[in-house]
Structure formats: C-alpha cells, structure tokens
Amino acid sequence: MVGERLATLLGQLGDVHPDACCAGAAGAEAPDARARLQDFLARRFPASRICVVHDSHLVLAAAGRDAGIALIAGTGTVAYARSPDGRESRRGGWGWLVGDEGGGVWITREAARLVMTRAESGAGIGPLGEALLAACDAHAPEQMIASLHRMHEPMQWAALAAIVFDVADQDAGAADIIRRAAAELVALVLPLRDVCPDGPVVLAGGLLLNQFRLESEVRALLPVECVRLVEPPVEGALRLAEGLLR
C-alpha cells in the first residue's frame, strides 16, 4: 500500500531524473524499513544519489542548522539532536499506541481519562467534559468513550486536542494537562543536551507551533535558546539532497 501511494505521488512529478533525492520518513530509524524505502527510490530514480532519514532530521536542515536539537510535537512527538562533529541521538517517536507523550493523541487521551475519572467520582465533568462530549456528539461520558473507540486513525484523536486548549482558562484540569504535556516534551530534549549542550532547540510540529500556551510552557522549562521552524520541513529534504552532491 505504501509503495502504491509513493508511486502515485512520484508519478505526479512527471518524467523527472533528479541527481539526488532525500526522503524523510517516520520509521526510517529501523534498518529494514529504511532499506525498503531506499530500494524503492533507487529503482524509481536509478541515476540518483539516495538518502533516507528519519523525518525528524529534516527539521534542523530546514532551519538551516547543521547542529542543534529538533523538538517536534504534532500528532506524535520526537526529539533529535546533532552535534557540531556529527554525533546524533534521538528520543521518543515510538508511535501513538506506545508513546508520543505530550503530543496531540496523548493530550486527547489524558483529557478523556480525566473526564471519565470525574464522572465516576460523581463530580461534575466540567467545561472540559462538556466540550469533549460535544465534539464526540455524545450525551454521556460512556458515549464519548464509544465514540473515541470508533476512531482508528491517530489524526482523529489529535484533532480533538484543540479542545483542551480552548477550555484551559475555564478548567484547571485542562490547564494541568497542558503543563504535563510541556514537561513530557522537555523530558525528550534534556537528555539530548549531552550531544548538543548549547542548542538551539528548533520547535516544530503543528501542535507546538499552533498552540501558543504549549509553546510558552516549553520555552519556560528549557534552559537553552528556542527558535521556531519557519520553513516547511520538506525544505530540509532539499537541503540534505543538495548535500549529497557536494
């Protein structure tokens, strides 16, 4: 299925023959997955120099940085560091079923857990519960859970995370979830300072860049310079591909 999607996507480019090609992909840290994608691209572009990296690598490159730490928070979360001498390390990126603490799916799951805890204790579900039930078209917490279980795509879960931010000023539990999300993201970064102690930390991902409250919490907890990613990550792939030609 992935091969078919890639073939369709690349087919839209027409009859192109690039000198170099870089692909950033989640899961590329696994040697067999990286090898499959590299082999696919090599067959598609036989005269091209091919580079396949984890998609977190693209962030530093897109920011024009040869060294630093990339912190990405969207549907999921991951952090990647590269030192000036080329050493690399990564934390997180385990996927929504196992990890991705601090990301969109995690925030929605924590919100649902809080609402259910409130409901079972007999306390009111609060503004967070009311907003989450409305978003799930549910009239009771049990219906909300049933609705969530019908969502099989992580992006569906992550889309509901915005509710937590919308009600954070009215619901202390929602505000606490955001604080804990920031702490989880910072926990990804801090061990990477062994590789790149002076940063900077490049902030990326739809959740982190579009939710000012989360970004502010992260910045307050990090002891190094933080910069926002301005260019789209695909610019990093272009930069890395250019590097293959040097």
pLDDT digits (tens, 9 = 90+) for 2-34: 667 777 777 767 777 788 888 877 777 777 778
The beta-carbon contacts of 37-46 under 8 Å, at least 24 apart in sequence, are: 40/3, 40/6, 44/7, 44/10, 45/17, 45/18, 45/21
SS (H, E, C) 129-143: HHHHHHHCCCCCHHH
Question: Does some domain include residue 45?
Answer: no
Q: Is the dihedral of CA 29, 195, 206, 24 positive or negative?
A: negative
11 lies in some domain: no
210 domain-assigned: yes
Q: Is 90 helix (H, G, I), strand (E, B) or coil?
A: strand
pLDDT tens digit sequence for 33-65: 788 888 888 887 887 888 888 878 888 888 888
Q: What is the CATH number of the domain that holds 141?
A: 3.30.420.40
**Is 54 contained in some domain?**
no
Q: Is residue 2 situated within a structural domain?
A: no
B/e letters for 209-246, b = 16+ CB within 10 Å, e = fewer, are: bebebbbebbeeebeeebeebebebebbbebbbeeeee
Q: Which residue has the higher pLDDT, 45 or 1?
A: 45
Report whether pLDDT(129) > 90: yes
12 falls within a domain? no
The verdict on residue 14 lying in a domain is no
Query: Mean pLDDT score of the chain, rounded to an integer?
Result: 88
With bands split at pLDDT 50, 70 and 90, how would you rate the model's confidence at 113?
A: very high
Return d(Cα 33, Cα 161) in angstroms, integer: 30
In this predicted model, what pLDDT tens digit does every residue of 230-244 receive, in sequence order?
888 888 888 888 887
Is there a domain that residue 100 lies in?
A: yes
pLDDT at 53: 83
- The alpha carbons of the chain give a radius of gyration, in whole angstroms, of 20
For position 126, what pLDDT does the model report?
A: 94
Domain limits for position 185 = 67-229
Which residues partner with 201 through β-bridges?
69, 226
Please tell me the total count of domains within the chain: 1
To 10 degrees, what angle do helices 126-135 and 172-189 make? 80
Summarize the confidence of residues 191-220 as an average pLDDT: 92
State residue 3's pLDDT score: 66
